[in-house]
Structure 1
């Protein structure tokens, strides 16, 4: 999982998981980072997804799930996986505004930084699907550098046609 490369697991930290779905990231953290001390908050728009989320079995990982479109607390880090990929029939201008607002909210809710991923542009052998949002990494990397004065690390080439931005204050 590229998003959590942002986190420093050597010390306790708090984490907002924006668009957490059923909490797969929490389960991943509990399995791969057993001794980590994490205060996890998962947020999602879908009550059905939150209903499927399970608290961490690890005593070192405090967890909570909330149905909301906002980020209700400031944490050390915030992450969002895949929430920008499917735009359906939204006009690109409107989708861009949604992304800008979400990134600003994640920045405001993160003391140390945030991480997001996007689908990369289609390759030459791929058909473009209008309902999917695909973008060049430089668009949002430069946006985060300009808007937030942040240091942005780009991770790509990890076996999926996507990229991850680690945005540090």
Structure 2
């Protein structure tokens, strides 16, 4: 899948070069919708106790700023993971000197953690055939499960009813990937929907 990872890296490196460390720089429309996704993904986590967290497709580390504002009373050991070297460089520069946050270049987790989240990493398929893109999604979900002790959360764009999906975007029905995770990982799969965006969040907890 090296071609898929290279395509993702090139796409997001171009975004950060054009828009900088902003929501547009990671292909979101604005900070409000970016953070609405964080709200949904972080329903995975128990903030009453310290925990470790992997952030896949971390971009410039926007999730750290959100955690600081909304959950500053909980100690989070954060690792951002991204396939774009330009993203990782920008994140390291932005959060340099931060003792509880680190960033690494790659597409797989180098450590076991309590939780992992991935925001938007499955949306932009570009010209990849659907079958190949779904192999990438399955491999990513396997890695998220393999390297988390308590669970992970991801999001997907919903397949529009009776409408044509924009070329290059991956959309799916609400049930398929939830069923995949529940069966493959013998896990509890929760779908969160109806928060005003054409997407849904999938939270997978270990049984």
If the TM-score is normalised by the length of the shorter chain, which range does it land in? over 0.9
Indicate conservation of the 8 Å contact 1:26/1:56, yes or no. Answer: no
Q: Determine the structure 1 residue equivalent to 2:32.
A: none
TM-score, normalised on structure 1? 0.94
> Is 1:91 equivalent to 2:132 in the alignment?
no
User: How much has 1:58 moved relative to structure 2?
Assistant: 7.7
Q: How many pairs does the alignment contain?
A: 166
RMSD: 1.5
User: What is the CA–CA distance in structure 2 between the aligned matches of 1:90 and 1:44, rounded to whole Å?
Assistant: 19
Q: Return structure 1 stretches of 4+ with deviation > 3 angstroms.
A: 56-59
- Which residue of the partner structure matches residue 106 of structure 1? 144
What is the CA distance between 1:123 and its match in structure 2? 3.9
Residues of 2 paired with 1:123 and 1:158: CA distance? 17
User: In the superposition, relative to structure 1, how do residues 56 and 143 fare at CA in structure 2: closer, same or farther (>3 Å)?
Assistant: farther
Q: Is 2:178 aligned against 1:141? A: yes
Q: Work out the CA distance in 1 between the residues paired with 2:98 and 2:140.
A: 30
**Alignment CA distance shift 1:64-1:58 (3 Å):** closer
Unaligned runs of at least 5 residues, structure 1: none
Give how far 1:42 is off.
0.2
**Residues 57, 122 of structure 1: CA spacing in aligned structure 2 closer, same or farther, 3 A cutoff?**
farther
- The secondary structure found in structure 1 opposite 2:172 is coil
Counterparts of 1:57 and 1:67, CA distance in 2: 18
Cα distance in 2, alignment partners of residues 2 and 57 from structure 1: 29
How big is each residue's C-alpha offset from its partner over 1:16-67, in whole Å with a ceiling of 9 and x where there is no partner? 00110010111111111111110000000111111221338887xx110111
Q: Deviations over 1:82-102 (max 9, x none)?
A: 000010110111011100000
* Mapped partners of 2:160, 2:167: distance in 1: 11
Comparing both chains, which one has the higher relative contact order based on Cα–Cα distances under 8 Å and sequence gaps of 6 or more?
A: 1
User: For residues 64 and 157 of structure 2, what CA distance do their matches in structure 1 show?
Assistant: 23
Provide the C-alpha distance between the structure 1 equivalents of 2:133 and 2:114, rounded to a whole number of angstroms: 27
Q: Which runs of 5+ in 2 are unaligned?
A: 1-38
Q: In structure 2, do the counterparts of structure 1 residues 56 and 113 end up closer, same or farther at CA, with 3 Å as the change threshold?
A: farther
Distance 1:11 1:48, change over 3 A: same
Corresponding position: 1:81 with 2:119: yes
